[in-house]
Amino acid sequence: MINQKNVQALYNLPTNVEFCKKCTISNQRPRISFDENGICSACNFAEYKKKIDWSIREKELADLCDKHRKNDGSYDVVVPCSGGKDGSFVAHMLKNKYKMNPLTVTWAPHIYTDIGRKNLDNFIRIGGFDNILGSVNGSVHQKMSQLAFLHMGDNFQSFIYGQTNFPIKVAVQHNISLIMYGENGEVEYGGDMKNAQQPTRDIKDHDGHYFSGKPPEFWVEHGVSKSDLYPYMPPSYEKIIKNKTEIHFMSYYHFWDPQENYYYSVKHTGFESNPERTEGTFSKYAGLDDKTDGQHYYLSYIKFGIGRATSDVSHEIRDGKITRDEGVLLVKKYDGEFPKLYFKETLSYLNISEELYWQVIDSWRSPHLWSKIDGVWKLNTTVWDIK
């Protein structure tokens, strides 16, 4: 039997669910804060963004590039990129507008979708980039994904280790001192706002923000050997410092608009949207390269009542693409839609039975969010019920 988790304590979630008055995000998103008017930190940041003088930021970026630029033909910036619209935009801008020499770095998905693989290939060929694809021992990756699902309620954690640590490792190996990510999710989507006024990411935050307090070495006690864990580990702190590694976010330097990144990447790097609507949301241009990532979003819906549609809707409202009323309709229609397309394949990948799967899912349902009514789990509070 799987033990019931105390989700509220684990993630420090408020008991009363409140929804932002401007978007559809709730106060259950870890680390998000609401102001006295009931507006979330991400919406306030979206307003703040409109007042930024982006020409000054552009100049800051040009200076940053000059500081890290190498003129001997070697790489001078690492751009983590899956071949999706956002990383493609960052890499292409740095190379073509700022005349940098990027080494793009991809941490391989658990199981590639056809469109995801095609987009990465297009990015490399049509976009014109050197790329290092980090592929770890598949059976270890599977095992790590299984353990993370069973112990953390997130099959995606092993991916996140690599996504966070692999680019740093490549940077150190190639003596590249600059790493440029796309958006700062903590700031753009709600979280710790301490980075809102600064372009960089603090490596000390990695364990807390990205690894839910469980760094890769945590899994040694679950029987994963140190050598198997090596690809997930960051370089030593001394090496990171000696390399003068700086992690920056493009969203600090350039107005971050995922929709415009879509147009940019279609034009310049051959990006294509999903051939159908992505399950759990209304869009078809985000997060489409890994067959198992639907479960990651579904688990967020279970733990926090925040599914993929809620997240997508919230930033489309902030970006002025849709109204809140439209957003509420979309959340009602799509949020929590079960990702069935690759479900069997994901179960087989995780090597768990469907029965165990549902036990784990239910163990992450907090009573402050969920009630079982007539045998069916229902959210206690929804954005469309709140007046």
Partner 1 sequence: MRNIRLISRLDIKAPNLVKGIQFEGLRKLGDPNEFALKYYLQGVDEIFYTDIVASLYERNSLLDIIKQTTDNVFVPITVGGGLRSVEDVLAALRAGADKVSINTAAIKNPSIITEISKKFGSQCMVLSIQAKWQGDHWEAYYDNGREHSYLDVVEWAKKGAELGAGEIILTSVDKEGTFKGFDHDLIRAVTDAVSIPVIASGGMGKLEDINTAVNYGNADAVAMASVLHYNHHDINSIREHCLNEKIPVRKVSSIGMP
Can you give the binding site for partner 1, defined by CB under 8 A?
A: 259, 262-263, 266, 272-273, 275-277, 282-285, 320-321, 326, 329-330, 333
Amino acid at 3: N
The most distant pair of C-alpha atoms in the chain lies apart, rounded to whole Å, by 69
Nearer to partner 1, 193 or 329 (CB): 329
Nearer to partner 1, 221 or 325 (CB): 325
Q: How many CB atoms lie within 10 A of CB 143?
A: 19
Determine the Cα–Cα distance for residues 118 and 120; give it in Å rounded to an integer: 5
Nearer to partner 1, 275 or 367 (CB): 275
Contact 105, 80 (CB under 8 A): yes
Angle separating helix axes 343-350 and 138-152, nearest 10 degrees:
100
Query: Rounded to the nearest 5 degrees, what angle is found at the Cα of 257, between the Cα atoms of 253 and 258?
Result: 120
Closest contact distance (angstroms) between CB of 23 and partner 1 is: 17
> Kind of pairing, strands 246-249 and 370-373?
unpaired
Closest contact distance (angstroms) between CB of 44 and partner 1 is: 23
Q: Can you tell me which residue has the tokens 């003088």?
A: 53
Amino acid at 97: K
Q: What is the DSSP string of 70-102?
A: -SSSS--EEEE--SSHHHHHHHHHHHHTS---E
Determine the Cα–Cα distance for residues 73 and 147; give it in Å rounded to an integer: 43
Closest contact distance (angstroms) between CB of 42 and partner 1 is: 20
Closest contact distance (angstroms) between CB of 319 and partner 1 is: 11
Nearer to partner 1, 129 or 285 (CB): 285
Nearer to partner 1, 34 or 262 (CB): 262
Closest contact distance (angstroms) between CB of 24 and partner 1 is: 14
Nearer to partner 1, 262 or 304 (CB): 262
Closest contact distance (angstroms) between CB of 277 and partner 1 is: 4
Q: Residues for the chain: how many in total?
A: 387
